[in-house]
């Protein structure tokens, strides 16, 4: 035992002796003014007052002597049914207990607190770590074996230490300050990972630490839920990459890896990171030398993808769908103050969007998936009674919503094999980003909802139409509220709603200030024709399966419809008719696109692009391709996708194939056809030559930079195997 440790206990022993001597004197004087006929309650009160005034304890022999001199000890206590003064003292209060060592009486809480204080001081004095056996021996000499821990409700010294504070714990025979142990394990973990610059699989790392600590990183004892959680809390020293294999590497190695990958990506496909405006500017500079009219040139995108419709290659521009709901509500409320309400009506039945419900509740780390599923059942029953809940279906086959899933990070999170007893770890949003994970959870939630008496409908794909039809059916015989977040639901409700219902409402349950749409009243105000045409406005300006149009908002498009723009109304009606030919859809769609950009229905998109270019050039010196409307070719495929989506909404798509309507299959998923026209005229592309002498292997190749194939005009690279990936 070190000298410092002995000093702590010697000081404590010396202090105790002085307190005992003082206590004996005060006890004698305290009882000297009592009376022989003091009642039992008076005697108890006298003893408790004195004992409470000495939180560090009073020697039992002191109490014996003082009590005996006043009350004739044994005769007095036996009169009240006690065998001895000791038994009498033990009966005074549950907070009192007599420690066997030294014959001292301790107020239980104060005694434990005093011992804890000494123990904390001891561990902190040894740099946050001390062998358990040293503490055992030291406290044995001070308080007796096991710190008199059993007297205070603890099984052993180790139990006393583990329960005394969240800041201390015992690991491998050592008592640690918890924060220090975490740092120690982090250093060991970092050193192990550092020996693997290319990364070490997470499961292998966990097994190695299990061998060292007999549990996964010792993490649960340290307050972490998993190995992954422990690593992610290492202040960015380590990181987990490659979600499939879950490789762990140091942050420095990850930065170096990213730099290498970035270099390879630049060499492989420079066009994906180059600014498309550069190609656009280059083509505009060269058009005069190619004996071409600028209007002809403007019929081409002059970009590697249509920037008015796509934010990157095959990635739609995302629409703000709520704009349309706000615009419709604003317009209809001017006609009738009953269409939109700020108070929630009580209805007889509720229909819930299952997708919105899944995201509604928070998840607690460590809860089983079965418990999570039960929380959804309890929430639904408590707030909506025996509601109807409709879930999306998630299949492994291709879907026209693949583009939306790609945007949301689909397939970047690993597939989780789980059942009702499996504990949840990680982030809810990450887990739900994988379709098969979400489908597994939906299966568990479905069982719990059915146990609560709810009706559950599992759609084969996107559930929007099924949700709306369930609400429409319910409203025929009882007042019904549809609970959801998606603007798609409101637009479909207006299309399918029949005015002879018992009351049909739509609202979200997330907003603190509710906005309730009275669907029946709103349809009466808007009229059936406009409610049908809203399908076209919504799909044409962007939904989950179509792109929004840069500089064309949903509100402005709706205002054109509401103001009676004949071209928009005619085009919308054409898109609502089943079995339309592709060329009919293309023709109507091009007219609608021209009107959306402020042109006339008779204007070609090429001439409109040219006129807008001239207008922009006169106002500023720099022009980017997304300032202009899309070309005829990209508009064609946009309109085909719009028509296909409308047919899905109205249930007329059964004999249609998505690949005939603006989609193509790529790696077993649907991706949008952007355009079938080259980025620029052939003669202009021939002027965009690279003149490489290294087979176009490097990022310096200008053709590769702009995503263009090499031409005969490129010269030297044509005499050997050109490696431009765009050839």
The model's pLDDT over 460-492, given as tens digits with 9 standing for 90+, comes to: 889 999 999 999 999 999 999 999 999 999 999
**CA 502, CA 347: separation in Å to the nearest integer?**
10
Assess if residue 273 is contained within a domain.
Answer: no
CB under 8 A, 24+ apart: contacts of 74-81: 76/43, 80/40
**Least confident range of 154-158, 287-291, 599-603:** 287-291
The domain that holds 421 is classified in CATH as 3.40.50
Where do runs of H (alpha helix) occur along 457-518?
464-475, 487-496
Nearest to 292 by CA among 624, 303, 300: 300
3-state secondary structure of 698: coil
Mean of the per-residue pLDDT values for the chain?
A: 76
Same domain, 504 and 535: no
363 vs 34: which has the higher pLDDT: 363
Residue 325 has pLDDT above 80, yes or no: yes
Same domain, 351 and 315: no
**CA 203, CA 221: separation in Å to the nearest integer?**
19
Confidence of residue 101 (pLDDT cuts 50, 70, 90): very low
Assess if residue 660 is contained within a domain.
Answer: yes
Confidence of residue 130 (pLDDT cuts 50, 70, 90): low
Same domain, 449 and 542: no
Last residue of a domain, one of 165, 193, 220: 165
Nearest to 357 by CA among 378, 339, 342: 378
Tell me the per-residue pLDDT of 402-420, one tens digit each, with 9 for 90 and over.
767 665 554 556 788 899 9
Residue whose structure tokens are 């305290």: 30
Same domain, 535 and 492: no
Return the biggest CA–CA distance within the chain.
129
- Burial of residue 395 (number of CB atoms within 10 Å: 0-12, 13-18, 19+): exposed
pLDDT at 36: 45
| Domain hosting residue 418, numbered range | 343-514
Residue 294 has pLDDT above 60, yes or no: yes
**CA 555, CA 541: separation in Å to the nearest integer?**
10
Same domain, 608 and 638: yes
For 89-120, give the DSSP string.
HHTT-TTEEEETTTTEEEEHHHHHHHHHHHHH
Tell me the per-residue pLDDT of 639-686, one tens digit each, with 9 for 90 and over.
999 999 999 999 999 999 999 999 999 888 899 999 998 877 776 666
- Rounded to the nearest 10 degrees, the angle between the axes of helix 3-32 and helix 108-124 is 160
3-state secondary structure of 388: strand
266 to each of 83, 262, 275, 541, how far by Cα in Å? 93, 6, 13, 33
pLDDT at 488: 97
Same domain, 546 and 611: yes
Assess if residue 632 is contained within a domain.
Answer: yes
Confidence of residue 169 (pLDDT cuts 50, 70, 90): low
pLDDT at 461: 87
Nearest to 487 by CA among 508, 513, 518: 508
Assess if residue 287 is contained within a domain.
Answer: no
Same domain, 433 and 471: yes
**CA 559, CA 562: separation in Å to the nearest integer?**
5
Residue 264 has pLDDT above 50, yes or no: no
Same domain, 534 and 595: yes
Same domain, 510 and 603: no
How many domains does the chain contain in total?
Answer: 5
612 vs 16: which has the higher pLDDT: 612
DSSP 475: H
121 vs 378: which has the higher pLDDT: 378
Residue 16 has pLDDT above 80, yes or no: no
Same domain, 501 and 586: no
Assess if residue 398 is contained within a domain.
Answer: yes
Assess if residue 259 is contained within a domain.
Answer: no
Last residue of a domain, one of 672, 691, 717: 672
Confidence of residue 532 (pLDDT cuts 50, 70, 90): very high
Assess if residue 443 is contained within a domain.
Answer: yes
**Least confident range of 57-61, 280-284, 670-674:** 280-284
**CA 202, CA 200: separation in Å to the nearest integer?**
6
3-state secondary structure of 629: coil
Residue 278 has pLDDT above 80, yes or no: no
Residue 252 has pLDDT above 80, yes or no: no
Same domain, 135 and 157: yes
96 vs 652: which has the higher pLDDT: 652
Assess if residue 216 is contained within a domain.
Answer: yes
Confidence of residue 559 (pLDDT cuts 50, 70, 90): very high
Parallel/antiparallel/unpaired status of strands 315-316 and 388-391? unpaired
CA 299, 305, 306, 308 torsion: positive or negative? negative
pLDDT at 82: 72
pLDDT at 237: 59
Same domain, 182 and 158: no
| 690 and 714 Cβ atoms separated by less than 8 Å | yes
**Least confident range of 513-517, 536-540, 623-627, 649-653:** 623-627
pLDDT at 53: 62
- What average pLDDT does range 574-584 have in this prediction? 97
Confidence of residue 612 (pLDDT cuts 50, 70, 90): confident
Of 241-245, 429-433, 717-721, highest mean pLDDT: 429-433
317 to each of 260, 351, 403, 550, 590, how far by Cα in Å? 29, 31, 11, 8, 19
pLDDT at 674: 94
pLDDT at 2: 45
The domain that holds 208 is classified in CATH as 3.30.420.610
Residue 542 has pLDDT above 50, yes or no: yes
């Amino acid at each position: 035992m070190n000298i410092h440790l002995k000093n702590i206990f010697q000081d404590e022993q010396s202090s105790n002796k002085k307190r005992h001597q003082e206590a004996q004197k005060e006890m004698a004087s305290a009882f000297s003014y009592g009376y022989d006929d003091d009642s039992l309650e008076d005697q108890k009160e006298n003893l408790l007052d004195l004992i409470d005034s000495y939180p560090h304890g009073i020697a039992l022999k002191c109490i014996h002597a003082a009590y005996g001199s006043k009350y004739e000890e044994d005769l007095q206590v036996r009169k009240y049914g006690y065998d001895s003064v000791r038994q009498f003292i033990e009966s005074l209060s549950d907070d009192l207990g007599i420690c066997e060592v030294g014959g001292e009486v301790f107020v239980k809480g104060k005694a434990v607190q005093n011992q804890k204080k000494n123990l904390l001081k001891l561990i902190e004095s040894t740099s946050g770590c001390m062998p358990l056996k040293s503490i055992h021996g030291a406290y044995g000499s001070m308080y007796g074996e096991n710190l008199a821990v059993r007297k205070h409700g603890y099984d052993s010294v180790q139990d006393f230490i583990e329960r005394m504070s969240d800041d201390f714990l015992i690991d491998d025979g050592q008592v640690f300050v918890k924060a220090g142990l975490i740092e120690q394990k982090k250093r060991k973990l970092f050193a192990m990972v550092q020996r693997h610059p290319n990364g070490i699989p997470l499961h292998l790392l966990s097994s190695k630490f299990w061998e060292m600590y007999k549990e996964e990183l010792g993490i649960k004892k340290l307050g972490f839920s998993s190995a992954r959680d422990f690593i992610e809390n290492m202040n960015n020293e380590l990181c987990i990459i490659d979600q499939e294999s879950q490789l762990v590497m140091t942050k420095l190695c990850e930065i170096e890896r990213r730099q290498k990958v970035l270099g390879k990506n630049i060499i492989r496909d420079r066009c994906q990171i180059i600014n498309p405006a550069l190609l656009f500017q280059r083509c505009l500079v060269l058009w005069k030398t190619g004996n071409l009219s600028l209007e002809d040139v403007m019929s081409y995108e002059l970009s590697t993808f249509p920037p008015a419709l796509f934010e990157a290659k095959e990635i739609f521009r995302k629409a703000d769908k709520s704009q349309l709901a706000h615009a419709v509500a604003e317009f209809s409320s001017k006609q009738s103050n009953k269409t939109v309400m700020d108070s929630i009506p009580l209805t007889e039945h509720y229909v819930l969007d299952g997708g919105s419900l899944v995201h509604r509740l928070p998840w607690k780390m460590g809860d089983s998936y079965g418990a999570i599923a039960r929380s959804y059942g309890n929430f639904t029953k408590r707030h909506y009674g025996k509601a109807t809940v409709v879930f999306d279906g998630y299949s492994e086959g291709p879907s026209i919503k693949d583009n939306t899933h790609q945007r949301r990070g689909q397939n970047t999170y690993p597939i989780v094999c789980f059942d009702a007893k499996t504990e949840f770890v990680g982030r809810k949003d990450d887990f739900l980003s994988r379709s098969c994970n979400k489908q597994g959870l939906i299966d568990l939630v479905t069982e719990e909802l059915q146990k609560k008496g709810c009706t559950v409908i599992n759609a084969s794909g996107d559930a929007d139409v099924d949700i709306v039809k369930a609400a429409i059916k319910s409203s025929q015989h009882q007042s019904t509220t549809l609970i959801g977040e998606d603007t798609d639901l409101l637009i479909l409700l207006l299309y399918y709603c029949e005015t002879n219902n018992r009351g049909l409402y739509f609202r979200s349950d997330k907003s603190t200030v509710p906005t309730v749409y009275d669907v029946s009243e709103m349809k009466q105000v808007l009229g059936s024709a406009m409610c049908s045409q809203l399908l076209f406005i919504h799909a044409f300006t962007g939904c989950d399966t179509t792109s929004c149009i840069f500089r064309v908002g949903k509100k402005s498009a709706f205002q054109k419809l509401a103001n009676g723009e004949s071209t928009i109304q005619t085009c919308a009606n054409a898109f609502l008719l089943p079995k339309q030919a592709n060329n009919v859809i293309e023709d109507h769609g091009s007219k609608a696109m021209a009107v959306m950009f402020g042109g006339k229905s008779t204007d070609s998109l090429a001439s409109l692009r040219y006129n807008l270019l001239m207008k922009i050039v006169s106002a500023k010196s720099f022009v980017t391709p997304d300032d202009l409307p899309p070309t005829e070719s990209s508009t064609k495929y946009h309109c085909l996708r719009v028509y296909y989506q409308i047919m899905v909404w109205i249930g007329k798509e059964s004999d249609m194939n998505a690949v005939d309507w603006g989609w193509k299959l790529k790696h077993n998923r649907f991706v949008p056809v952007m355009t079938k026209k080259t980025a620029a005229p052939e003669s202009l592309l021939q002027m965009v030559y690279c003149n490489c002498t290294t087979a176009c292997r490097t990022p310096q190749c200008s053709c590769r930079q702009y995503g263009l194939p090499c031409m005969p005009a490129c010269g030297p690279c044509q005499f050997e195997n050109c490696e431009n990936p765009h050839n």
